[in-house]
Structure 1
Amino acid sequence: MALFQVLLLWIAQALMALLFLFLIAFIGYCVYIKRIHLKYDHIPGPPRDSFLLGHAPTFSRMMRNGEVIHDSFLEWSETYGPVCRINSLHYVLLLVTCPEATKEILMSPKYPKDKMFYSKVFSLFGQRFLGSGLVTAQDHELWYKQRRIMDPAFSSLYLRGLMGTFNERADKLMNTLTDDADNKTDVNMLQLVNYVTLDVIAKVAFGVDLDLQQNSSAFPKAIEACLKGMVWGIRDFFFRFNPKNRPFVNEVKEACILLRRTGAQWINDRKTAMLNGDDVPKDILTQIIKSAGEEESMAEEDEELMLDNFVTFFIAGQETTANQLAFCIMELGRHPIILEKMKKEVDDVIGMKQEISFDDLGKLTYLSQVLKETLRMYPTAPGTSRDILEDIVIDGIHIPGGVTAFFSSYATGRMDKFFKDPLTFDPDRFHPDAPKPYYCYYPFALGPRSCLGKNFAQMEAKVVMAKLLQRFDFTLLPGQSFDIVDFGTLRPKSGVVCSVRHRNHQE
């Protein structure tokens, strides 16, 4: 009995000691946060929700309500100026809309990608996701090596050679729409363009025929789960620890496993073909294998790096282009005059041709303007961030080093100081003779870390839109919203539901 009492006393003392240590650590952390506040509170910004959590509760509330966080970034930028402070625990994020600072920071390699953000997409809830691939690599040498090896797969000469595949996959979509028009079936355009862009990236990047217009696949749902998991993991520190979220967390981890397992299979098939001396295309998959070095000397980390780049290109090469196409169709449905002007250009340039050539794309100038205006209002990858390691001055405000700068193309694209009547869809802003926006329009980011696949994406978007306008009339179904869903990438909430009918070219 005495021994039991001694044991209880010892446990009580140990718990008291642990509680005391926790209290000391908590007080120390609070002191640290106070020092951070004193260091950066001279920078304008909205009132914090709490001393400890900063603005994190606002982000969590907006996500639960299905709101677009970038709308708050826009409001804060207009209220507090070109550099706006946001707090979350001991982290400080600066929302920067100053064009000169945007140019200085994004165009220079001396500002690395945001360590906190990109470490959170290295893995999702403990399951490796984007890892250290081309988009997420923070080490400049690792990034530069990968970028140099990937460049040939995005050269102008190679992209010209993809026109046949762009046409072929777009024609599969047109065949689906032909059936829908014949049967007077309403169509979810976001879903259909997701299928075509996923088909394209699978074929031209990895040499695989998915044919999603005809076949079901787990990939679209897996990609959506990963993107949702990514944005919750970044914006809500405590999301994974909530027991109610456990089923979704497991779904996200399974989606990551599916994508990486698929990548491993496709990579091994291609490596076998290369070892057998078979002819293989100089596509992204071949470049991914080359980026890991000689096959016989690969370490486990090299294998993982190949899968990192597979997942990166598989998602990035599909998701953003599909969303851009869907937003473009949505806006054309709301603006019949712009739609008719686009149809006339397509008729003049393409006529009744089945095959759109690379040279045709250069003549579709108004279509280019419409696609650029779509990305101004709906930048499907709406922002990028960089770490500011040394002191800097932005718009006359001294910024101590050790902070992260975030650049929202969504916010700058909707600010009246940069674009007159910014909520008006006006493709003439991007007329060849119009003045170019000065570092306030960057849907593909800027500088050395800008999107490698932007020319690929815009070629694909042009082919799909030109064929759609050439062959079909479409009308938005009444009653649907024009709201935006924020999954890290932006997509139309309604899915852009349309009725389609064959064009009468004798009108």
Structure 2
Amino acid sequence: LTDFNRAGDRFVDAIGELADSGKEVLILDWLHRTALGIICRVAYGKDLDVFGEKSPFNDAVNDFTTVFGETFRDPLMQIPFFAGKGRVDKFRNAINFVKSEGRRWTKEREEARRNEEYVPDDILNSTLDIKERGIYDETDDPMDDFITFFLAGHETTANTMSFALLEASRNPDVLRRMHEEVEEVLGQKPHISNEDIGKLPYLNNVWKEALRKFPVAGAIFRQVNTDDFKIDGRLIPKGATVVPSQYVSSRMPENCPDPEVFNPDRFSPDNPDRPATYTYFPFSLGPRNCIGQNFAQLEGMV
């Protein structure tokens, strides 16, 4: 958790300076910077000045995630005519910049490996192992995976953290209990340890409740690979695409009583009405669930 703690310290210092200045800021932006710094360090061994006023890498990642989100919400934005040249150029320039940085980092790591220098056992190292084993074919670009990790590895976590903070500010009792639990477990300790994580059940439930009420993905897409079957008399043919929605399921009263209420206690082990597995699935389910869910949970709690 060293890198998580270090990022948390930087975030607190940055927010402290902003608070002293009395300047109003968008907290989501600073959470994005924090999460981006973590993924750069943990996955690629890079320390970037993501909190600086001028952070080209942060700006580029923010540009392509913003345009990607706009395109996802409005399918017409996938058509250049409707998206507009400015938006298209912004997206392409951002992607090209991030990919160029990724290629530079990759070359540096390849050289370090050739020289038998110490290299961290991170995602970049695993990518190079895969590349050397010939698993990537000629049409694959490892930089596409590079982009995917930044898109999925920082924005989703930052968004969930921002919703958790929003609900804590709206619910003073939730905020009080979070403070009390952290004070009881950590006391004067400057950093959190792996052992401490297991002693923070309420904080963990706050994270789960934020994901329930505001899932990072509103739905998932799956293709039926079995024979035709029926659900409540409705035919689901083989090959059909089904779209189960985490957002809808977790807001149905029969699955979560009082779904609009932010109630971390609904996830307490002794709560008979706690959400069941197949009604609460913010990270999807089965063999294709999110591989980063534990990483995101640790990051969010720290």
| TM-score for the superposition, normalised by structure 1 | 0.56
Partner residue in 2 for 1:341: 177
Report the CA distance between 1:228 and its aligned residue: 4.3
Residues 374-413 of structure 1, C-alpha deviations (whole Å, 9 max, x = no match): 0001011222111124422223311223321112111111
1:293 is aligned to 132
Aligned to 2:32: 194
For residues 362 and 443 of structure 1, the distance between their equivalents in structure 2, rounded to whole angstroms, comes to 21
Q: How does 1:199-214 map to 2 (within 5 A)?
A: 199-214=37-52
Moved more, 351-360 or 217-226: 217-226
CA contact (8 A) 2:80 2:88 kept: no
Deviations 1:97-136 (A, max 9, x none): xxxxxxxxxxxxxxxxxxxxxxxxxxxxxxxxxxxxxxxx
Q: 1:218, CA displacement in angstroms?
A: 3.0
Provide the rounded CA distance (Å) in 2 between the counterparts of 1:417 and 1:253.
45
Matched, 1:425 2:259: no
Q: Match for 1:391 among 228, 242, 260?
A: 228
Where 1:242 maps in the other structure, the secondary structure is helix
Contact 2:31 2:161 in 1 (8 A): yes
Q: Aligned pair 1:443/2:282, yes or no?
A: yes
Change (3 A) 1:402 1:325: same
Matches within 5 A, 1:318-397: 318-389=154-225, 390-397=227-234
Name the one with the larger strand percent: 1
1:345-378 Cα offsets, whole Å, 9 max, x none, are: 0110011111211111110110000010000010
CA contact (8 A) 2:49 2:55 kept: no
1:393-412 alignment, distance < 5 Å: 393-412=230-249
Residues 1:264 and 2:100 aligned together: no
1:288–1:310 contact (8 Å) kept in structure 2: no
* Aligned 8 A contact 1:240 1:246 in 2: no
Q: 2:251 aligns with which of 409, 414, 435?
A: 414
CA RMSD, 1 decimal: 2.1
Q: Which amino acid aligns with 1:369?
A: N
Task: Please report how far the alpha carbon of residue 197 of structure 1 lies from its aligned counterpart in structure 2 after TM superposition.
Answer: 0.6
- Counterpart CA distance in 1 for 2:167 and 2:155 is 19
**CA deviation string 1:422-453 (max 9, x = no partner):** 10101111112224424011111111111111
Matches within 5 A, 1:37-76: none
TM-superposed deviation, 1:300: 3.9
Q: Give the secondary-structure state (helix, strand or coil) at the position aligned to 1:286.
A: helix
Q: Distance in 2 between matches of 1:229 and 1:204?
A: 26
Given the two structures, how large is their TM-score scaled by the length of structure 2? 0.91
2:17 corresponds to 1:179: yes
- Where do 1:69-148 residues align within 5 Å? none
Q: Compared with structure 1, are the counterparts of its residues 271 and 215 closer, same or farther at alpha carbon in structure 2 (3 Å cutoff)?
A: farther
Q: Deviations over 1:67-126 (max 9, x none)?
A: xxxxxxxxxxxxxxxxxxxxxxxxxxxxxxxxxxxxxxxxxxxxxxxxxxxxxxxxxxxx
Secondary structure of residue in 2 paired with 1:292: helix
Could you tell me whether the CA contact under 8 Å between 2:106 and 2:124 is conserved in 1? yes
In 1, Cα distance between the equivalents of 2:17 and 2:53? Answer: 16
Letter in 1 for 2:94: A
Offset of residue 223 of structure 1:
3.1
Mapped partners of 1:345, 1:239: distance in 2: 46
Cα deviation for residue 455 of structure 1 reads: 0.8
Moved more, 368-377 or 210-219: 210-219
Instruction: Say whether 1:310 aligns with 2:146.
Output: yes
Take 2:164 and 2:27, find their aligned partners in 1: how far apart are those partners? 11
1:432 maps to amino acid: P
| 1:187 partner SS | coil
Identity of aligned residues (%): 36
> 1:256 deviation in Å?
1.8
- Deviations, residues 271-316 of structure 1 (Å, cap 9, x unaligned): 1111110111111110111122348x976435x1x21221111221
Q: What per-residue deviation string (whole Å, max 9, x for no partner) do you get for residues 233-252 of structure 1?
A: 55525742426622212221
Is the Cα contact below 8 Å between 1:263 and 1:307 reproduced in 2?
A: yes
1:142-201 Cα shifts (integer Å, max 9, x gaps)? xxxxxxxxxxxxxxxxxxxxx111111110111112223333333321111111111111
Instruction: Supply the distance in 1 between the matched residues of 2:87 and 2:80 (Cα, whole angstroms).
Output: 12
Greater Rg by CA: 1
The AA in structure 2 aligned to 1:289 is: L
How many residue pairs match? The answer is: 298
CA 1:334–1:260 in 2, change beyond 3 Å: closer, same or farther? same
Residue in 2 aligned with 1:487?
none
CA separation of 1:227 and 1:183: change in aligned 2, threshold 3 A: closer
Bigger RCO (CA 8 Å, 6+ sep):
1
Mark the runs of 5 or more structure 2 residues left unpaired by the alignment. Answer: none
Q: Give the whole-Å Cα distance in 1 for the aligned partners of 2:211 and 2:69.
A: 20
1:246 is aligned with what amino acid?
K
Deviates more, 1:445-454 or 1:183-192: 183-192
SS in 2 for 1:267: helix
Query: CA 1:185–1:246 in structure 2 vs 1: closer, same or farther (change >3 Å)?
Result: closer
Note closer, same or farther for the CA distance 1:229–1:177 as it changes in structure 2 (3 Å cut): closer
Whether the 8 Å contact between 1:232 and 1:239 is mirrored in structure 2 is no
Cα 1:412–1:180 shift into 2, 3 Å: same
